[in-house]
Amino acid sequence: MKKKYSIAKAQRNLPAIVHEAERMGAVRITRRGQVVARLVSENEFQRLTRRKRRIDWGTMLIDTRGFKFDREEANAR
């Protein structure tokens, strides 16, 4: 489980918490026990915001011309 800090503790120990985020990827910041923010390392931020490879749906389509659906045959299975 990743470490979490209250806002007050994060303000007092920001340099150490930044180093921890660099090592661990992310640190949770809480207010009254509830997580309200996350401090993430640059590497983790880049990983999370990297664009995903687009799917070329044109190559994924199946030619269904000539296909006939037979409900009775499907129900028999």
Least trusted range by pLDDT, from 19-23, 55-59, 65-69: 55-59
Tokens for 23, please give them: 């090592």
CA 49, 55, 56, 58: dihedral to nearest 10 degrees? Answer: -140
Is 0.75 topped by the overall pTM? no
pLDDT digits (tens, 9 = 90+) for 14-54: 999 999 999 998 999 999 999 999 999 999 999 888 887 77
Gap between the Cα atoms of 35 and 19, Å rounded: 20
Of residues 76 and 42, more confidently modeled: 42
Domains in the chain with CATH codes: 1-50 (3.40.1620.10)
